Structure 1
Amino acid sequence: MKFAPMKEILELAEERQVAYGAFVTVSFDSALAAIEAGSELNVPVIFITGNDCVALMGGFEGTVETVKRAAANATVPIALHLDHSKSFEECAQAINAGYSSVMLDGSSLPFEENIAFTKKVVDLAHPLGITVEGELGKLVGEEGDLVVKGPEAAQTDPAEAKEFVERTGVDCLAVSIGTQHGHYIAAPKLNIERLKAIHAVVDVPLVLHGGSGTPAEQVQESIRNGIRKINVATDVLTAMIDEYVAQAGAPGFKYNTAIYPKVKDAMKELIKGKMNQFRFES
C-alpha cells in the first residue's frame, strides 16, 4: 500500500469544515487502534511519529512497515507523518522510506532561517507528492530537547504567518495559540482571536499541536476558525499506560498476552472519542 498525501486529507477536512486527528503511534497495536477507530467511523487517519517513536519501531523503514502491516485492512485513507523533525536529512530519510508527509520544525530558529530551512524541504518533497508542514511560534512545555516557558509572547504572529506560507509554499501551518505539549498544569485558554487573525490572512490548513487535555469546547471553537489537523500524543499514551496499570491491578491478573488486546481497545476508544469531537456538527 501507499500512504495518502496528508494534504489531500486536510483538503477534505476543509471541505467538510472539520478537523482530523493526528495520533501518535509507537507500535503495531497503537497503529491498529487508530486504524480500527478510523475504519469504524469512516474517518481518515493521520499518524504522527517523532524521532522517539521512530526509534521504538526500528527506524524509518521499520516504522513504515509496522504501520503498513497495521493498515492491511484499512477502509479509509492513512497518512504517515514525521513530526517535529529538526533536520533536512531526517526529512529526506523519512521520504525515502515511504512517509507521505513531513514536518520540519524550525520554530526555534530566527524567522529568516526558519523560512530558508523549510523551503529547502518543500523543494525536495513537493516534486515527489509529499506534504510539508511548517511551524511558527512555540508551544509552552517540552518537545524533545526544546523547553519553552511563557504564554502569549511565544504565540504565532499573523503577519509573519502570511509571509512564511507565501515564501515557503508549505501545505499546512502549525500555529501556537495557547496549547502546550504534555499534561497541562493549569487549564488552557486558547487565543481564538489570534487564530482568527491568522486564518484571515493564511490560505492553507492550520494545525493545532498539543491537542491532549484541551477542553472540547475550545477545540471545537478552534475548528470553527480554521484548525484542520489536531495532534494527539499524550492522551493516547496515557490511555495505553492507564489500561496496563488497571489490568495489572485487577483481581486474578496473570502475566500473559491477554493484556495487549485490552490495551489496544483502550487506545481505540480514546481515539474514537477524539475523532467524534473533532468532526462535530457546528
Structure 2
Amino acid sequence: MALTPTRELMDAAAAAGTGQGAFNVIHLETVEALVAGAEAAGLPVILQISENCAKFHGGLEPVALATLAAARKASVPVAVHLDHAEDEALARQAVDLGFGSIMYDGAHFEYEQNVEATACVAKYAHERGVYIEAELGKVGGKDGAHAPGVLTDPAEAAAFVAATGVDALAVAVGSSHAMTERSAALNLERIAALKAALDVPLVLHGSSGVSDANIVAAITAGMTKINVSTHLNGFFTRGVREYLDANPAVVDSRKYLGAGRAALVPEVARLLQLFALATDLSPVEAS
C-alpha cells in the first residue's frame, strides 16, 4: 500500500488488460481528493504533477513533497508521476525527489532530436530505477486546437521505443488536451495497430474530451494509462462555485475549497472503477 512504484501499477494493468487512472494534481486539495477517491474505490491511482503545476507553485519541490507525503499515508497504492516535462532539468529533479515515474515530452522537437533528448533523460531515470514515459505524435489541445489527422505512426513508434528505451509511450490517436466537452473521436484501429507494434504500454493523453464508452473501447483496443485533468477540474470548480453561490458571505477559504474537494471524490472513484472494469463492460454499461 501507500507510495508505490509506477512500474508496479503499470505492469499490473497491462497484464490484466485494464486501464490505470492517472489524474493531475493542481494543489493540495486535489491531492487529498484524488487519494480519497482512490481509497473509496479501493483501487490504485497515479498522481501527476505537470511542469505547469510546478511553475504555479513556484517550483517542483513544495508541491512534490506534499504529494509524496499524501501518497505515503494512503491506504491504497499511489504512485507519483511528473507529467509533460519539456525541461530536462525538471525531469531529473523529479527523479531525485523520489517520483516513481516521469514523462519527458520531446514531441515539440523533430524526430531525431526527440530521440536524442528522450534517450538522455531515460538513461538518467533508469540508472535510478525510475519509470519513464515519452510522447510521439503531437497530442493537440494546449491552445485549444484539436489537431485532427495527427496520428502516431506504429512503425515510427516501434523505432522510437527501441532507440530511447522508454517504458511507456503517449500516442496521438485523436484526443486533445484541455477539452471541456467529451466529443473527441478516438481512432481505435490506430490504437490496436500501435498495441501490436509495441511491447510497452500505451498512454492516452487528453482523456477529458473522450466519452466513457470511447475510453472503454480504447482500453479494450490496447490503451493502459488514462490521463485525466480538465474533466476532474470541472467537478472541483463546480463544487467551489456552488458553495460560494449558497454562502456569499464566506471568507474562510477552507470552506469552499473543502466543498470542491468533496465534490471531486466520487468522480475519481467512478473513473477508476470504470477503467479497472473496462474489459468486462458491455457498450451499454460503458456509455
Fold equivalence (TM over 0.5): yes
Distance 1:208 1:72 in 2: 26
1:103-118 correspondence to structure 2 within 5 Å: 103-118=103-118
Q: Which has the larger helix fraction?
A: 2
Q: Is the 8 A contact 1:247 1:253 kept in 2?
A: no
Is structure 2 residue 184 aligned with structure 1 residue 196? no
Q: Is the 8 A contact 1:57 1:66 kept in 2?
A: no
Name the residue aligned to 1:170: 166
Relative to structure 1, the CA distance from residue 100 to residue 228 in structure 2 (aligned partners, 3 Å threshold; closer, same or farther) is: same
Distance 1:182 1:115 in 2: 26
Distance 1:90 1:231 in 2: 20
Name the residue aligned to 2:284: none
The partner residue of 1:271 within 268, 271, 276 is 268
Gaps of 5+ in 1: none
Distance 1:248 1:120 in 2: 48
Name the residue aligned to 2:39: 39
Amino acid at match of 1:40: A
What's the offset of the Cα at 1:55?
2.9
Name the residue aligned to 2:225: 229
The partner residue of 1:262 within 259, 264, 276 is 259
Amino acid at match of 2:86: K
Distance 2:3 2:95 in 1: 11
Distance 2:118 2:179 in 1: 29
Distance 1:266 1:55 in 2: 26
Q: Is the 8 A contact 1:138 1:148 kept in 2?
A: no
Amino acid at match of 1:264: R
Distance 1:170 1:249 in 2: 47
Amino acid at match of 1:238: G
Amino acid at match of 2:147: G
Distance 1:187 1:148 in 2: 13
Across the aligned residues of Structure 1 and Structure 2, the Cα RMSD in angstroms comes to 2.0
Name the residue aligned to 1:18: 18
What's the offset of the Cα at 1:243?
1.1
Secondary structure of the equivalent of 2:73?
A: coil
Q: Is the 8 A contact 2:182 2:209 kept in 1?
A: no
Name the residue aligned to 1:128: 128
The partner residue of 2:156 within 152, 157, 160 is 160
Relative to structure 1, the CA distance from residue 82 to residue 149 in structure 2 (aligned partners, 3 Å threshold; closer, same or farther) is: same
What's the offset of the Cα at 1:236?
1.8
Secondary structure of the equivalent of 2:207?
A: coil
Q: Is the 8 A contact 2:181 2:209 kept in 1?
A: no
Name the residue aligned to 1:8: 8
- Which has the larger displacement, 73-82 or 120-129? 73-82
After TM superposition, the score normalised by the length of structure 1 is 0.92
Relative to structure 1, the CA distance from residue 134 to residue 252 in structure 2 (aligned partners, 3 Å threshold; closer, same or farther) is: closer
| Cα displacement string for residues 229-279 of structure 1 (whole angstroms, at most 9, x for unaligned residues) | 111110121111111111111167633333232211111112112112211
What's the offset of the Cα at 1:211?
0.9
Secondary structure of the equivalent of 1:80?
A: strand
- Which has the larger displacement, 184-193 or 127-136? 184-193
Gaps of 5+ in 2: 282-287
What's the offset of the Cα at 1:52?
2.1
Distance 1:250 1:212 in 2: 28
Secondary structure of the equivalent of 1:90?
A: helix
Number of aligned residue pairs: 278
What's the offset of the Cα at 1:5?
2.3
Q: Is the 8 A contact 1:64 1:98 kept in 2?
A: no
Amino acid at match of 1:15: A
Is structure 2 residue 202 aligned with structure 1 residue 206? yes
- Which has the larger displacement, 78-87 or 254-263? 254-263
Distance 2:71 2:257 in 1: 18
Name the residue aligned to 2:119: 119
| Cα displacement string for residues 105-148 of structure 1 (whole angstroms, at most 9, x for unaligned residues) | 111211111111111011101121101001111122116xxx75
Distance 1:21 1:155 in 2: 22
**Identity of counterpart residues, as a percentage?**
32
Distance 2:26 2:247 in 1: 29
Distance 2:211 2:245 in 1: 30
